[in-house]
Structure formats: C-alpha cells, structure tokens
Amino acid sequence: KTFSVGYDFESVAEAIPKPKRKKSPAKKMKQRVDRIMKQVDNAKKAISKIIPDVEIITHKDEDSYRKATGETDSKKQTSRGEYNPKTKKIHINLSKANNRTVAHEVFHAILLNKLKTDKAAKDLTERMIKSLSKNLEGMPEVKKALDEFASNYDENIQSEEKLAELV
C-alpha cells in the first residue's frame, strides 16, 4: 500500500540552497588577469588619441616586470604598475595588479604628458587635493586610506599618488 501525507519532498529539496563551490586559486587568478587585460585594452583605446605615443606593456611574471622596470632589489616587493615618462611606457605587473592599477598608471601618463614638468604636476595635484579635501571631511575612512597609501611615496608626489588612486 502507498499513502500520501501531503508533503512534497521534491519541492522541499529544490528550496534548499545548494552549497556554493569555492573557486580554485588558479581560476580566481585567471579571472582577475582577464579583467585587467580587458582594462588594458580599454585604456589603449581611450588614450590612443590624446597620448598616442604611450605604450602599455603587461608582464605575466615578476622577473619580466623587474627587468623591464629596473626593480632589482629581490627583497623589496615589486609594485603593481609603473609609468615611465622618459620611455612613455606603462608597465603592468599582472601577478600583483588590482582593479585600480591600470587606471592609476594611465592617470600618471596623461598628467605627466600634458603638464610636462614635475613642478607643474605637483602644483596642479596639490590644488586638486586641497579642493577635494573639503569633500572628504565627511569620509574619514577614505581620507585615512589615501593618506596611508600616499605615505609610501616621496612627499613631492604624494598628491599625485592620492589622485591617481582615486581614479
């Protein structure tokens, strides 16, 4: 004999959330690199008309990045990216880059290409930060994070670094 108790086990089983599978570190890394490469492609298109002589180069590993940028101290942590105004090249370290790296370095390239001198860049970025600081008064966590980030750089370029990080 069969009987029914008025309970639909199939619909209950469907309602139970299935556990999410964690992505493997390799898959996460590939997704991050793919996202950054898309940003690089978009940045190349965006700057092609305003600073066409600037080249963006990506490096898949630390060794390639260190050789290209001259970061030779093996104990010092490598950076995520760099813009060299003398060679007009942006280098992106894919093993370290985050979602802000490409825009950050493009900001440096545009600023330094258009203003031509370090003093002009410093003067402009200090005025911009001074103006922006009024808006950051209500966001102490953002101001603190920017100050901490900029403290890693020479005092002459801290305003530029703060702005580049906000981009």
Which pLDDT value is given to residue 135?
Answer: 81
Q: What is the model's pTM? A: 0.77
Rounded CA separation 83/104 (Å): 9
For the stretch 23-32, pLDDT in tens is 788 898 899 9
Band of pLDDT at residue 38, cut at 50, 70 and 90: very high
Report which of 33, 91, 36 is spatially closest to residue 67, judged by C-alpha positions. 91
- What tokens were used for 155? 């005092």
The pLDDT tens digits of the residues spanning 140-162 come to 888 888 888 888 888 888 888 88
pLDDT of 112 > 60? The answer is: yes
Residue given tokens 């953002």 in the structure block:
142
Encode pLDDT of 74-94 as tens digits: 656 678 999 999 999 999 999
Rg from Cα positions in the chain: 23
Average pLDDT, the chain: 85
Is the pLDDT at 131 greater than 70? The verdict is yes
Q: What is the pLDDT of residue 15?
A: 63
Beta-carbon contacts of 71 under 8 Å, excluding residues fewer than 6 positions away, are 65, 78, 79
CA distance 135 to 142: 11
Kindly list the distances between the CA atom of residue 73 and the CA atoms of 35, 82, 126, in Å, as whole numbers in the listed order.
29, 16, 31
